[in-house]
Amino acid sequence: MKVTVVGAGAVGASCAEYIAIKDFASEVVLLDIKEGYAEGKAMDLMQTASLNSFDTKIVGSTNDYSKTAGSDVVVITSGIPRKPGMTREELIGINAGIVKEVSSNLIAQSPDAIIIVVSNPMDTMTYLVHKTTGLPKNRIIGMGGALDSARFKYRLAEALGAPISDVDGMVIGGHSDTGMVPLTRLATRNSIPVTEFLSEERLTQVKEDTKVGGATLTKLLGTSAWYAPGAAVSALVQAIACDQKKIFPCSTMLEGEYGLSDICIGVPVVLGASGIEKIVEIELSEEEKEYIKNSAEGVSKTNGLLAL
């Protein structure tokens, strides 16, 4: 399994590190436009191999796509991150051009690859990759919901005073400060609905803290987060590499599912060797349906800013 990660910045390098530590890929190519940057990150990471006991080979490349040839999975993290006070949507002007060019370069070298889109605004960048590459929809995956769900579980565990491993939950909808839909109704602590333990008021707080998870970290760090994003991407890559058939909420092109069409937005999918193997349609409450509808309206508005 060969994986390419474009963008050797905070998220790309973190993603490469987690993939290597999990030791399921034979090779990870890190590519960046900044001269020598990806080579430096790759060398630094390779010098952790004996300490962290992995055999994955990590190779750096300054914009030489020939090194990415024959990749099975490619991850796009290239682009600018937001600064405190910004929304992800404000990044569209710069990131759309980068994502379009990078995806076309990647496909030229790895025509059968599965693409994972990370750059923000992620749902719109995933839509852009659909519209500009014309690849089958199972091979274009937007990463947002896996991260948002991990943050949801963190906030639920905090509210419950429970270990995170005891908690399960999922966030669907757009990967934006207002568009995320944390499904508190379905969240559980060791199979018991969390609604048995937490008041509606506390659950509302959990929901709101989850939705602004990225903004909260951006304010603290001065730029957006990378550890949990990198870990979330590595989990998706592993599900594909190891044909795990795991369910993650991912941004995928909808064709009528959840009453939505011609939009990429986060819904539960089964991830395996062919990428998105199935979109899982769950019964939503009337309130949740309304949240998803509003979330989709927000994503569509951002999609409308693309020059397609």
Ligand X SMILES: O=C(O)C[C@H](O)C(=O)O
Is 229 a residue that touches ligand X (CB under 6 A)? yes
Separation of alpha carbons 184 and 307, rounded Å: 37
- 218's contact among ligand NAD, ligand X, none, with CB below 5 to 8 A by partner kind, is ligand X
Task: Provide the 3-class DSSP secondary structure of residue 128.
Answer: helix
Single out the residue of 77, 78, 120, 234 in contact with ligand X (rule: CB under 6 A). Answer: 120
Question: What residues contact 118, with CB distance under 8 A and at least 6 apart?
Answer: 7, 11, 15, 75, 76, 77, 143, 229, 233
CB closer to ligand NAD, 203 vs 235: 235
Is 143 a residue that touches ligand NAD (CB under 6 A)? yes
CB closer to ligand X, 60 vs 121: 121
CB closer to ligand X, 29 vs 147: 147
Per-residue binding string, ligand X, 266-295, x by CB under 6 A, is ------------------------------
b/e code 170-187 from CB counts within 10 Å (16+ = b): bbbbbbbbebbbbbbebb
Single out the residue of 58, 122, 264, 279 in contact with ligand NAD (rule: CB under 6 A). Answer: 122
Single out the residue of 156, 167, 183, 225 in contact with ligand X (rule: CB under 6 A). Answer: 225
Which of the residues 132 through 171 are near ligand X (CB under 6 A)?
147
Please identify which of the residues 67, 139, 155, 175 carries the catalytic annotation.
Answer: 175
Q: Is 29 annotated as a binding residue?
A: no
Question: Concatenated DSSP letters for 197-209?
Answer: TS-HHHHHHHHHH
Residue 31 Cβ, how far from ligand NAD at the closest point, in Å?
6
Residue 181 Cβ, how far from ligand NAD at the closest point, in Å?
15
Name the helix (H) or strand (E) containing 62. strand 57-62
Is 218 a residue that touches ligand X (CB under 6 A)? yes
Separation of alpha carbons 18 and 100, rounded Å: 26
Q: How many CA atoms lie within 13 A of 142 on its CB side?
A: 31
List 275's β-bridge partners, or say none. Answer: 272
24, 51 Cβ separation under 8 angstroms: no
- Does the annotation count 175 as an active-site position? yes
Separation of alpha carbons 201 and 162, rounded Å: 18
Which of the residues 10 through 29 are near ligand NAD (CB under 6 A)?
10-12
Is 82 a residue that touches ligand X (CB under 6 A)? yes
Q: Which residue has the tokens 């803290």?
A: 209
Q: Is 82 annotated as a binding residue?
A: yes
| Active-site annotation, residues | 175
Q: Which residues bind ligand X (CB under 6 A)?
A: 81-82, 88, 120, 147, 175, 214, 217-218, 224-225, 229
